[in-house]
Amino acid sequence: MATTLAIRGEYAPLINDYKAEFFWRRFVRTILGGPNVYLHFKAPRYIYFFQILLLFVPWILGGIFTIFVELIPSSINIPSLYYAIIYGGIITAYSFILHYISYIFSRKVNVIGSFNQNVHSEELEMEFTSCCNPSTWYFIFGNKKHIYNIILHPICAGGLCALIYYYLLPSNIITLFSASSAWVPIYTMGWISLSIAQYSLIVTCPPEPAVYRTSQVEELEPYRRPFYLAAIAIFSLATRYCYTDFALVRTVLYIVCCCLPLLWSLGILSPLDALLPWLGEQLLIIMYGGSPMANDIRLLIQVVFATCIFLPTCFISAPIFTIIYSACFGYLLSIDLCGLALPFYSKIRKKTKHNPLKSPLISCQSSSVSTMGWKLGTADYIIHVVMLVLVTSIATATSIISINSIITAATKTIINSVLMYTLIALLILIKITGDLQGVYLFWGLLPNPFYPRSADTKEKFLKRKKQMKFLGILYRVLLLIVAPLLMLAYLGLNLNVTAGTNTLSLFVFGLGTVRATRWVWQSTIHALFEMSVVFLITLILPSNSTWINFGLGLQLFIVAVARNRLQLLVGNLYMATLLSVTSYTIKKQRARWTVPLLVVLLLTLPISVAMILLASTLSAPLLPLFTAPIFLVGFPRPRRIWPNGDNDAASRCQDAVYYQQLLPVLSSALSKMIGNGVLREPSPGSQYLLRFQDRLIWVVVLERGYGYCNLNIKGLEMQETSCHTVEAARIDDIFQLTFERGERGQFCQLNRYFFNILQPVDATYLKTYSDARSVLTGILDSPDNIKLLTSSFANTLIWTLGQHLIIPHLRQILCKSDPNAKQKQNKSSLDQPAIPKAEVRNQRNSIEKDTEDYGKERHDRSSVASEVLHDRSRKKSVSDSIWSADDHDSLFGSDDDARERSNGLASQRKSKGAAFPRDDSFLSAANSVVNHGDEDNFIFGSPAVDVNKKRASKGTTGAEGDSIFSMPNSYNIELPPRWNDLPIDADFLDDLIKRYFRQDWFQHVLNRLAESSDDDKEREKIKALATDQEAVRIFAEIIMLCYAAVDVFGVPGGNAEVASIEHIYRSYQGNISPSSQLSWLSENKALQNAIISAYRYAVKLVYDTAILGEVTSLEELSEYLQEYDNEWTIGTDKSLEWSEGILKSQPHLYSLDYNKSEATYTTRLLTLQDVLIHVGILSSECIQSQWSSLALELLYFTNDDEERYSIQAHQAILRNLTVQAADPPLGYPVYASGALSIPLFK
Q: Report the phi/psi class of residue 657: left, alpha or beta, with left for phi > 0 and alpha for psi in -120 to 50.
A: alpha
Mean pLDDT value across the chain: 79
* Inter-CA distances, 358 with 349, 806, 1234, Å: 11, 51, 18
Whether residue 1215 contacts residue 801, with contact meaning beta carbons closer than 8 Å, is answered with: no
Nearest by Cα to 927 from 896, 885, 891, 960: 885
- When comparing pLDDT for 837 and 217, which is higher? 217
| β-sheet bridge partners, residue 771 | 1166
Please report which helix (H) or strand (E) contains residue 1098, including its range: helix 1085-1108
Task: Count CB neighbours of 1110 within 10 A.
Answer: 8
**What confidence score (pLDDT) does residue 885 get?**
31
* Inter-CA distances, 1110 with 672, 678, 799, 1103, 1120, Å: 46, 49, 18, 10, 12
Tell me which amino acid residue 776 is: L
Nearest by Cα to 293 from 305, 281, 308, 310: 281
User: What are the residues whose beta carbons fall under 8 Å from the beta carbon of 918, sequence distance 6 or more?
Assistant: 909, 910, 1137, 1140
Q: Give Rg (Cα) of the chain.
A: 39
The winner for highest mean pLDDT among 544-548, 797-801, 908-912, 1166-1170 is 1166-1170
Whether residue 847 contacts residue 1139, with contact meaning beta carbons closer than 8 Å, is answered with: yes
Where is average pLDDT lowest: 13-27, 73-87, 303-317, 340-354? 340-354
Tell me which amino acid residue 570 is: V
**What confidence score (pLDDT) does residue 588 get?**
83
Helix (H, G, I), strand (E, B), or coil: what is residue 35? coil
- When comparing pLDDT for 789 and 409, which is higher? 789
pLDDT band with cut points at 50, 70 and 90 for residue 255: very high
d(CA 634, CA 643): 15
Please report which helix (H) or strand (E) contains residue 576, including its range: helix 552-585
Please report which helix (H) or strand (E) contains residue 1122, including its range: helix 1114-1127
User: Chain centroid to CA 346: how far?
Assistant: 25
Nearest by Cα to 1140 from 808, 436, 723, 654: 654
| β-sheet bridge partners, residue 1162 | 775, 1153
Enumerate the H helices of 677-740 as residue ranges: 722-739
- When comparing pLDDT for 817 and 1111, which is higher? 1111
> Which tens digits make up the pLDDT trace of 685-714?
999 999 998 899 999 999 999 999 999 999
> Which tens digits make up the pLDDT trace of 45-70?
888 899 999 999 999 999 999 988 88
d(CA 922, CA 861): 8
Burial of 653 from C-beta contacts in 10 A (0-12 / 13-18 / 19+): middle
Whether residue 1230 contacts residue 652, with contact meaning beta carbons closer than 8 Å, is answered with: yes
d(CA 194, CA 892): 85
Entry field: residues in the chain: 1242
Whether residue 621 contacts residue 638, with contact meaning beta carbons closer than 8 Å, is answered with: no
d(CA 784, CA 440): 55
Checking if the pLDDT of 222 tops 70, the result is yes
Number of C-alpha atoms within 13 angstroms, CB side, residue 389? 6
Burial of 1134 from C-beta contacts in 10 A (0-12 / 13-18 / 19+): middle
Where is average pLDDT lowest: 671-675, 818-822, 1159-1163? 818-822
User: What are the residues whose beta carbons fall under 8 Å from the beta carbon of 706, sequence distance 6 or more?
Assistant: 331, 334, 335, 480, 484, 521, 522, 524
d(CA 190, CA 164): 8
* Inter-CA distances, 589 with 4, 1192, 1203, 1215, Å: 16, 21, 16, 12
Helix (H, G, I), strand (E, B), or coil: what is residue 638? coil
Checking if the pLDDT of 1213 tops 50, the result is yes
Checking if the pLDDT of 831 tops 60, the result is no
Number of C-alpha atoms within 13 angstroms, CB side, residue 50? 18
Nearest by Cα to 329 from 337, 339, 341: 337
> 1068 phi and psi, to 5 degrees?
-60, -40
- Sequence ranges of the domains in the chain: 17-269, 279-540, 656-757+1179-1239, 783-1164
pLDDT band with cut points at 50, 70 and 90 for residue 30: very high
Please report which helix (H) or strand (E) contains residue 633, including its range: strand 631-633
- When comparing pLDDT for 21 and 953, which is higher? 21
**What confidence score (pLDDT) does residue 8 get?**
45
Q: What is the DSSP letter of 688?
A: E
d(CA 1042, CA 1034): 13
**What confidence score (pLDDT) does residue 958 get?**
34
**What confidence score (pLDDT) does residue 884 get?**
31
Q: Find the helix packing angle between 183-202 and 149-167, rounded to 10°.
A: 180
**What confidence score (pLDDT) does residue 623 get?**
95
Q: What percent of the chain has pLDDT over 70?
A: 76
Q: Please compute the mean of the pLDDT values over residues 832-857 and round it to a whole number.
A: 39
Nearest by Cα to 1103 from 1145, 1070, 1139, 1064: 1064
**What confidence score (pLDDT) does residue 1047 get?**
82
Checking if the pLDDT of 1036 tops 80, the result is yes
> 877 phi and psi, to 5 degrees?
-80, 150
> Which tens digits make up the pLDDT trace of 985-1007?
778 888 888 888 888 898 888 88
**What confidence score (pLDDT) does residue 1217 get?**
92
Nearest by Cα to 1123 from 913, 840, 888: 913
Largest Cα separation within the chain, whole Å, is 130
d(CA 88, CA 160): 8
Q: What percent of the chain has pLDDT over 90?
A: 43
Terminal alpha carbon distance of the chain: 56
Q: Kindly report the CA angle at 1206 between 1203 and 1209, in degrees rounded to 5?
A: 135
> 116 phi and psi, to 5 degrees?
-70, -30
Checking if the pLDDT of 550 tops 50, the result is yes
- When comparing pLDDT for 120 and 547, which is higher? 547
**What confidence score (pLDDT) does residue 888 get?**
31
**What confidence score (pLDDT) does residue 721 get?**
60
> Which tens digits make up the pLDDT trace of 570-610?
999 999 999 999 999 988 888 778 888 899 999 999 999 99
**What confidence score (pLDDT) does residue 809 get?**
65
Q: What is the DSSP letter of 527?
A: H
